[in-house]
Chains A and B, each alone.
Chain A
């Protein structure tokens, strides 16, 4: 089945089984590395992407539900040459060990910061409730998200998803 997907501001036509989880389409058909396979059960948050402003677990979301939605992955937050505020904050705080869970953490944080640029520590923890980290990078992840909020404030405007072109 042909499905039109809007990912990071670009439209893609994919021909896939409509039941395919969004995660596999992002990783294999669109060759985006950001969203990660962690459990396939919606338990760990490694696959988190943002859909229409909300954090969504892409491993349990059928691609057929995504037609006409705005999907953002960590690739949509900036590039290695020009990192966005969240990415810059995670680099600045060295908020990764293995880093496998980090894009999922960042997308959950992205959804939070779009709604609330200055979340309290408790609000960040609540938002990350379903994101698991095994290396124990939690303190740095919290610091990086607080820092990203500051960077966005300094930039003077609420962070919007980066558009291609």
Chain B
């Protein structure tokens, strides 16, 4: 299997490898139709090709039976299953809302089960701002179809027309007050059927729950000390483990004397397998102490394999890889004035506040792993491959972890726990990464280099646009066992597989490299296949740097054209929903072309995420302290259209978070390294935004689109905010900054103080 940077959130890529039935909570094996379809496709050649089954809404297309998603028991208790996970984005609450809406019950009536290979559908990864499109759409349609089936069944039993019946209070109610409970109606496998392509969804004006800011169901436990995270899982007889990771990217364990460690209080065992080194102890602090001694005892070889951090752009440009055409649309004559620039983005990290953690138990040849992975099924496959087990022998159950902004250390910690559990069967292993493990070993968002050449004519319109980007792939998963650190480090190593280059509709390194604006363009991706630092998906993938470059360039072209930057954007923007968010953000911000106050500046940024998901525009006001180069965002105003809004406050919360996180990336963040080691190993060597630099206000305005498809929210702000920030600094200082992040030192040097 190769790593294909396409639709990293999709299960499609794993079709044919991993399709399986959905093992339900009752223990019954329900073979999904998708598996049957795959089996048909592999039949002997003389058989005629099986007709392609109809496309079903969202993830229903992959798990096609209604009872894979919704089960109702004899007491009318309702259980909804999703293959997606809560990672602080509020998806649990939003999915409960769509299910309750279409089933005509209250949110409190829904018991939602999230990703568990033993119970829920395979929905691949929770990533790419896709959960509402995939799972939300599936659950909404499944719930509507279940409701209609229940009405039909009640109509049959009561011998009254369907039209005389309605769903209410977990029952079907007739005009004369006849009532049959859901539990009574579903008694004989009524929902064990394939979903239909069409559903009778409730009309936008009849919605009771969708569109309401239902309070998040997970917050009360999180603020009162409830068990909310995998870190809080305490199993009977559980012991504590720590890994000792190599000190450098390519270091190999030469020698380690474990005798002194093995004699330490509480130490159960030291595990060494190649360069995989770990210790298990009865108590957590004993494990930490043993890990420190083990670190001192280990001798490693180190090779200088990392490029010079100060010459990263040159390194990226020097790699000779494939070049892919992302877009080519008309030649462009570059008449008028030409603007050329080079933009860069460093490696940046997810840097969750809680380091990754995994709990694993090997018992009677069955391995159970509790993990904050984004994809329980891909993780199950990878762990099984690493340990030489069948996938049926491995169950991965999702539990929440600390904030997840993409492919972080979760899968690796799960694999570490699994490796150790395999060596210490019968005892639950809690494996907790230390801060330096997370900072040093999580997969980073890749560094990028972008060169733009654009022309603007006498008429103030863009006459040509050449855009070249250099980047690694932005997703190295699922990738099987080689995607797991433990599998790479063990003696019988699973070497890293070379990445495969692919241009896809939703984009990867090239995400949002194609302008939504209307003018002739040519966009090329120079694929960087060398991966000196481990990389993978970080919130928004390439869209963060691409929108930074694209929208910075739009501002420079507006300046050349003598136009207001907002008006200049609208001039090139035909999509009505795109125009609406631009106009809304500008209006709510109080956008003006008046000269800003001394030291202050305004900036604007816009993108439609992936060019097919949420529309977001943002205006920022910044203050630049000339003496120090310090940039502070004073206020941010954004407008977002993510289709039909299920939970408006959830959309606001995610967007506020995206804005603030992007401010942090853009002002402070870059992974540092020398020629052998990553040197960003804690919060002092990888600073992020603190309360002292948080804006005075952050406003999010939602443009709701009732009846329109869900478009997702989580990643829409990352790129536009970076651009708006650089544009505001340009407005305040007259200086354009091309390299991320806009550190004090860079700004001070740039403005020449």
Contacts and interface: CB of A to CB of B under 8 A. Distances in A.
B640 to A, nearest CB: 15
Interface stretch (A111-119, A130-138, A152-160): A130-138
Interface stretch (B244-252, B351-359, B553-561): B351-359
Contact of B228 (A41, A99, A125, A128): A99
Interface in B682-722: 682-684, 688-692, 694-695, 697-698
Given A37-B432, A40-B435, A80-B220, A94 B691 contact: no
Contacts of A134: 351-353, 402-403, 405, 661, 688
Given A31-B234, A87-B224, A139-B694, A94 B653 contact: yes
A21 B404 contact: no
A55 interface: no
A65 interface: no
B692 A129 contact: yes
B573 interface: no
A140 B226 CA distance: 21
A97 interface: yes
Interface in B245-304: 265, 283-286, 288
A34 interface: yes
B219 A91 contact: yes
Given A39-B435, A75-B224, A98 B219 contact: no
A98 B232 contact: no
Interface string A11-38: 0000011011100100110011110111
Given A20-B285, A28-B283, A46 B697 contact: no
A73 B688 CA distance: 26
Nearest to A28: B284
A21 B223 contact: no
Given A21-B285, A40-B435, A99-B88, A33 B232 contact: yes
Interface in A29-67: 31-34, 36-41, 43-44, 46
A102 interface: yes
A74 interface: yes
B698 A37 contact: no
Nearest to A138: B694
Contacts, number: 182
A137 B698 CA distance: 11
A9 interface: no
Given A33-B228, A98-B402, A134-B353, 20 more contacts: A16-B285, A17-B285, A17-B286, A33-B225, A33-B226, A36-B353, A37-B231, A87-B220, A91-B215, A91-B223, A94-B216, A96-B219, A97-B89, A97-B657, A98-B354, A98-B401, A99-B222, A100-B402, A136-B659, A138-B691
A86 B218 CA distance: 17
Contact of A24 (B226, B284, B689): B284
Contacts of A106: 223
Contact of A90 (B219, B402, B656, B697): B219
Contacts of A27: 284
Nearest to A32: B225
A149 interface: no
A19 B694 CA distance: 37
Contacts of A37: 231, 354-355, 432
A36 B658 CA distance: 23
A66 B649 CA distance: 41
**Interface range on chain A: under 10, 10 to 19, 20 to 34, or 35 or more?**
35 or more
Contacts of A131: 691
12 contacts: A27-B284, A33-B229, A43-B683, A73-B225, A91-B219, A91-B223, A94-B215, A94-B219, A99-B223, A100-B88, A100-B353, A125-B692
Contact of A140 (B401, B404, B653, B658): B653
A75 B219 CA distance: 14
Between A36, A75, A124, A131, the greatest number of chain B beta carbons within 10 A of the residue's beta carbon is seen for A36
A33 B354 CA distance: 13
Nearest to B438: A39
Contact of B223 (A19, A102, A142): A102
A64 B265 CA distance: 18
Contacts of B697: 139
Given A40-B434, A94-B216, A132-B683, A24 B285 contact: yes
Interface in B387-408: 400-405
Contacts of A5: none
Nearest to A100: B402
Contact of A129 (B219, B221, B227, B690): B690
A39 B225 contact: no
B87 interface: yes
Contacts of A90: 219, 223
B284 A46 contact: no
| 6 tightest Cβ-Cβ pairs between the two chains A and B | A98-B88, A136-B660, A99-B222, A136-B657, A98-B403, A75-B225
Contacts of B373: none
Nearest to A31: B234
Contacts of A140: 653, 656
Contact of B684 (A43, A98, A102): A43
A101 interface: yes
B682 A41 contact: yes
Contact of A83 (B223, B265, B690, B698): B223
A78 B224 contact: yes
Contact of B691 (A19, A24, A78, A125): A125
A136 B695 CA distance: 11
Contacts of B224: 74-75, 77-80, 83, 87
B354 A36 contact: yes
B660 A139 contact: yes
Contact of A100 (B225, B403, B683, B684): B403
A100 B216 contact: no
Interface in B635-683: 649, 653-654, 656-661, 664, 682-683
Interface string B420-452: 000000000000101100000000000000000
